[in-house]
């Protein structure tokens, strides 16, 4: 299948690890040039070099904390200077939380709001004129199954991801007038460094190793009984980026091994 993505330019937030890195690899395999952003510069540079030499596409590493408006302004200026525009924006950077509503501070709420929602708002607003100038584009938001079906140890994560899901729906309505397709993907259990960190912390509380915690979680939550690899999920992102997904607009797609427990 020719996905018709060759020579497109994609900006992926959180493109140096986990899901973002797997999407970067899958897009690079289709001949897409990449701008990847993350905070840890050493890891970002290492992965950017590896992708560039493996796939022969241009890869621009952009050190940025997307929860910060100023970092987004700098990132966009560097992206425009290097590539002159962008076709695909993947709003992916994010992380789980762990708190009770009774105890979490305003500052914690604000950080996750900025990371999960405002980063997508600011980047979409900045990328849309560039996409418009190229005749269209694609914006994908990586929310979570928790946007609809919460995990109760992370109320801030659930709430801010639910906001991202609604933002995607509203943006899709506005953006399609300019031939920009916006969709949101809601992954279930994807085995990434973020889950290893969470399983290590939560497993310790119950005297379980990270692996024991992950196995129990996958078996009790998902009908499929296992985590997905980031690569299994990345295929779906790439398809939604492709012109072959031309009628997919404003959607909210679950890739969750059957975990969502309602008819959507
Ligand atoms: P990882 O922790 O494995 O990777 C996160 C990536 O985002 C890294 O590249 C990290 O780099 C970057 N990142 C984190 N915070 C920031 C920031 N403030 N600014 C810029 N970059 C940042 O996470 P996952 O791959 O597991 O998760 C990716 C997304 O998928 C998240 O939004 C998550 O909520 C969502 N998701 C994940 C699921 C899963 O099961 N794994 C399920 C559902 C949704 P660095 O630390 O260097 O900044």
The pLDDT tens digits for 15-39 are: 999 999 999 999 999 999 999 999 9
Q: Are 51 and 27 in contact, with CB atoms under 8 Å apart? A: no
The model's pLDDT over 214-255, given as tens digits with 9 standing for 90+, comes to 999 999 999 999 999 999 999 999 999 999 999 999 999 999
Q: Is 60 helix (H, G, I), strand (E, B) or coil?
A: strand
Task: Please report the pLDDT score of residue 133 as a whole number.
Answer: 98
Beta-bridge partner residues of 9: 33
Q: Which pLDDT value is given to residue 183?
A: 99
Angle, helices 155-175/119-133, rounded to nearest 10 degrees: 20
For atom 44 of ligand 1, the residue with the nearest CA is: 144
Q: Which of the listed residues 34, 62, 74, 94 should we mutate to test ligand 1's pocket, taking the one with most ligand atoms within 8 A of CB?
A: 94
Nearest Cα residue to 236 out of 194, 169, 168, 187: 187
Residues with catalytic annotation? 157
Cα 15 to middle of ligand 1, angstroms: 8
Residues within 6 Å of ligand 1 by CB? 13-14, 16-20, 37-40, 43, 64-67, 92-95, 115, 142, 144, 187, 189-190, 192-195
Q: Are residues 217 and 114 in the same domain?
A: no
Query: The domain containing residue 212 runs over which residues?
Result: 191-227
> Which pLDDT does position 241 carry in this prediction?
99
Q: Is the pLDDT of residue 132 over 90?
A: yes
For residues 128 and 103, state if they share a domain. yes
Domain count, the chain: 2
- pLDDT, tens only, 221-232: 999 999 999 999
Comparing CA positions, the residue from 52, 19, 57 lying closest to residue 38 is 19
**Within this chain, do residues 165 and 119 fall inside the same structural domain, yes or no?**
yes
Residue at 147 is within a domain: yes
Task: Check whether residue 114 and residue 15 sit in a common domain.
Answer: yes
Question: Separation of 225 CA from ligand 1 center, angstroms?
Answer: 23
Tell whether 110 and 212 lie within a shared domain.
no
What does pLDDT average to over the chain? 98
Q: Residue 166: is its pLDDT beyond 90?
A: yes
pTM of model > 0.85 = yes
Q: Would you say residue 19 lies in a domain? A: yes
Q: Are residues 134 and 235 in the same domain?
A: yes
**Residue 93 has what pLDDT?**
98
Domain contains 55 = yes
What is the whole-number distance in angstroms between the Cα of residue 188 and the centre of ligand 1? 14
The band of 264, judged by pLDDT with boundaries at 50, 70 and 90, is confident
């Amino acid at each position: 299948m020719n996905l018709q993505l060759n020579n497109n330019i994609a900006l992926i937030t959180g493109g140096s690890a986990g899901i973002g890195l797997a999407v970067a690899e899958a897009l690079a395999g289709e001949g897409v040039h990449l701008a990847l952003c993350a905070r840890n510069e050493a890891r970002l540079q290492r992965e950017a070099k590896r992708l560039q030499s493996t796939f022969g596409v241009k890869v621009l590493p952009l050190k940025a904390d997307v929860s910060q408006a100023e970092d987004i302004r700098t990132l966009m200026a560097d992206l425009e200077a290097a590539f002159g525009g962008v076709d695909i924006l993947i709003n992916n950077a994010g992380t789980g939380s762990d708190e009770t509503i009774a105890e979490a501070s305003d500052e914690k709420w604000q950080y996750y709001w900025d990371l999960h929602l405002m980063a997508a708002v600011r980047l979409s607003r900045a990328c849309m004129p560039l996409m418009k100038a190229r005749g269209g584009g694609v914006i994908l938001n990586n929310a979570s199954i928790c946007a609809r079906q919460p995990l109760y140890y992370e109320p801030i994560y659930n709430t801010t991801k639910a906001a991202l899901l609604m933002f995607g729906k509203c943006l899709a309505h506005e953006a399609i007038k300019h031939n920009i397709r916006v969709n949101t993907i809601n992954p279930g259990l994807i085995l990434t460094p973020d889950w290893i960190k969470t399983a290590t912390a939560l497993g310790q509380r119950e005297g379980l190793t990270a692996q024991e915690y992950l196995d129990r979680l996958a078996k009790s939550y998902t009908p499929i009984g296992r985590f997905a690899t980031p690569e299994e999920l990345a295929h779906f992102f790439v398809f939604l980026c492709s012109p072959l997904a031309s009628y997919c607009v404003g959607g909210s797609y679950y890739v969750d091994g059957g975990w969502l427990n309602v008819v959507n």
